Amino acid sequence: MEQDAAEGQLQVRFVTKQEQYAVPDSPYAIQSNVQSAELNTLVNAILKETDVSSKRVEFDFLVCGELLSSSLTEHLQEKGVSTEETIEIEYLERFPAPAPQDCLMHDDWVSALQTNGNWILSGSYDNSLHIWTTKGQHKLVIPGHTSPIKAVSWVSVSGDQAVFASGSHDQSAMLWVWNIANNSVDCVVTCRGHDKGVECMSVSADASKLATGSWDNNICLWSASLSDEDNAPAKKRSKPDHGNTREPLATLKGHREAVSGVHWMDFNTIVSSGWDHLLKIWDCELNGIKQEIAGNKAFFDVDWSPLSNSMITASADRHVRLYDPRSTESIVKSTFTSHTGWVQSVRWSKTRDTLFLSAGCDGQVKLWETRSPRMPLYDLSGHEDKVLCCDWSNPALLISGSCDNTLRIFKAKNAFGSS
Which alpha helices (H) appear in 32-141, and where do they start and end? 36-50, 72-79
Q: Are residues 78 and 135 in the same domain?
A: no
Instruction: Return the ∠ at Cα 47 (arms to 46 and 51), rounded to 5°.
Output: 125
**First CA to last CA across the chain, in angstroms?**
40
Q: Are residues 383 and 295 in the same domain?
A: yes
| Amino acid identity at 52 | V
What is the model's pLDDT at position 7?
60
When mean pLDDT is compared across 77-86, 165-174, 304-313, 400-409, the lowest value belongs to 77-86
CA atoms within 13 A on the CB side of 318: 8
**If you count DSSP H runs as helices and E runs as strands, how many of each does the chain have, helices first?**
3, 34
Q: What's the rounded mean pLDDT across residues 43-56?
A: 89
Q: Are residues 84 and 145 in the same domain?
A: no
Choosing from 65, 93, 121, the residue where a domain stops is 93
pLDDT single digits (tens) 283-301: 999 999 999 999 999 999 9
Full-model pTM: 0.91
Q: Which of 241, 232, 261 is nearest to 167 (CA)?
A: 261
Q: What is the CATH number of the domain that holds 281?
A: 2.130.10.10
More confident residue, 8 or 166: 166
Task: Yes or no: say if 44 and 73 are a contact pair by the CB < 8 Å rule.
Answer: no
Q: Is 418 part of any domain? A: no
Q: In sequence order, what are the beta bridge partners of 323? A: 311, 332
**pLDDT surpasses 90 at 322:** yes
Q: What is the distance between the alpha carbons of residues 132 and 102, in angstroms, rounded to a whole number? A: 11
What is the model's pLDDT at position 397?
93
Q: Is 378 part of any domain? A: yes
What is the model's pLDDT at position 241?
60
Q: What is the distance between the alpha carbons of residues 198 and 151, in angstroms, rounded to a whole number? A: 7
Q: Are residues 154 and 72 in the same domain?
A: no
Q: Are residues 270 and 340 in the same domain?
A: yes
**pLDDT surpasses 90 at 50:** no
Q: Are residues 20 and 108 in the same domain?
A: no
> Beta-carbon neighbour count of residue 296 at 10 Å?
9
Domain range for 87 is 2-93
More confident residue, 150 or 50: 150
Q: Are residues 179 and 273 in the same domain?
A: yes
Task: Yes or no: say if 12 and 39 are a contact pair by the CB < 8 Å rule.
Answer: no
Number of structural domains the chain divides into: 2
Q: Are residues 270 and 394 in the same domain?
A: yes
Ramachandran sector of residue 144 (left: φ over 0; alpha: ψ -120 to 50; beta: rest):
left
Choosing from 32, 59, 93, the residue where a domain stops is 93
What is the model's pLDDT at position 419?
33
What is the model's pLDDT at position 5?
44
Q: What is the CATH number of the domain that holds 68?
A: 3.10.20.90
Q: What's the rounded mean pLDDT across residues 77-92?
A: 92
Q: Is 417 part of any domain? A: no
Q: Is 419 part of any domain? A: no
Choosing from 71, 93, 115, the residue where a domain stops is 93
Q: What is the largest CA-CA distance in the chain?
A: 81
**pLDDT surpasses 90 at 46:** yes
